[in-house]
């Protein structure tokens, strides 16, 4: 049997999880699933009131509201999280924005905001999280990217590029941190019914609910996968298309997207 790339999580009871980007969508659904499974969870996002709503009724939930684009806020947020949990077994980083954009519609302000939130904020977090986990000698980091990272797609001019950066980043993290005893997870969702995808005016293949996405993520953690991609059928097809010769790939994508 092939050994999983990360140690499978067999039991969530008492696991200490910091979930960044927990106020809506996949993050909120994952927070509820973790809490229902017995994990001790610190919920983070900018919107404190929404975090409180999610945490209500769970004595092992705590809220640390902060802005991930503020470099100075990360050390304090980590300190507060450690005060609540005592240590960290898993950090899930999922704060993101989505600005559907064609090549002829580039708005530099949107580009800068997307890269700052989707990519640079990950580095802000990693700069304080990685030293903490290395000091502990254990723990894991999960980053929510997207299957749009696999290949160029219509209107994903900004979003797809940010998520491609995270795919590369996660691979480097795993290469360097796994030998030091840390787990690294790359989460690549397809289309999930969230406020972000509500702006799409096209049919979204394999559209999932946030609850289905959360279950897929939990299954990936429990099986010790490095890349957790879903829905499996659509994600695997897109991954295959990304690997075929360029001439065939572009022809297939034009046919599939009708562009």
- Catalytic residue numbers read 159
* Nearest-angstrom CA–CA distance, 72 and 154: 36
Residue 73 per-residue DSSP state = H
Written as six digits, the tokens of 39 are 């994990």
* Nearest-angstrom CA–CA distance, 60 and 66: 20
Q: How far is CA 137 from CA 133, 218, 233, in A?
A: 6, 23, 36
Q: Which residue has the tokens 């696991």?
A: 15
Strand partners, 142: 92, 185
Residue 100 C-alpha from the chain's centroid = 18
* Nearest-angstrom CA–CA distance, 233 and 150: 14
């Amino acid at each position: 049997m092939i050994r999983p790339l990360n140690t499978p999580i067999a039991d969530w009871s008492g696991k200490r999880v910091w979930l960044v980007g927990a106020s809506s969508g996949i993050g909120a659904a994952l927070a509820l699933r973790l809490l229902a499974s017995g994990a001790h969870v610190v919920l983070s996002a900018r919107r404190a009131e929404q975090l409180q709503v999610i945490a209500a009724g769970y004595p092992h939930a705590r809220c640390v509201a902060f802005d991930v684009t503020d470099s100075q806020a990360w050390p304090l947020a980590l300190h507060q999280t450690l005060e609540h949990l005592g240590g960290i077994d898993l950090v899930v980083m999922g704060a993101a924005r989505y600005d559907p954009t064609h090549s002829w519609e580039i708005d530099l302000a949107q580009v800068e905001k997307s890269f700052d939130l989707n990519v640079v904020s990950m580095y802000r977090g990693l700069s304080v999280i990685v030293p903490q986990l290395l000091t502990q000698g254990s723990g894991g980091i999960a980053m929510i990217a997207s299957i749009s990272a696999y290949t160029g797609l219509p209107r994903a001019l900004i979003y797809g590029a940010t998520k491609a950066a995270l795919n590369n980043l996660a691979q480097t993290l795993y290469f360097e941190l796994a030998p030091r005893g840390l787990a690294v997870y790359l989460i690549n969702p397809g289309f999930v019914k969230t406020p972000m995808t509500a702006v799409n005016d096209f049919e979204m293949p394999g559209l999932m609910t946030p609850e289905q996405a959360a279950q897929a993520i939990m299954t990936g953690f429990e099986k010790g996968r490095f890349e957790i991609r879903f829905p499996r059928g659509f994600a695997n097809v897109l991954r295959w298309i990304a690997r075929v010769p360029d001439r065939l790939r572009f022809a297939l994508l034009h046919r599939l997207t009708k562009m």
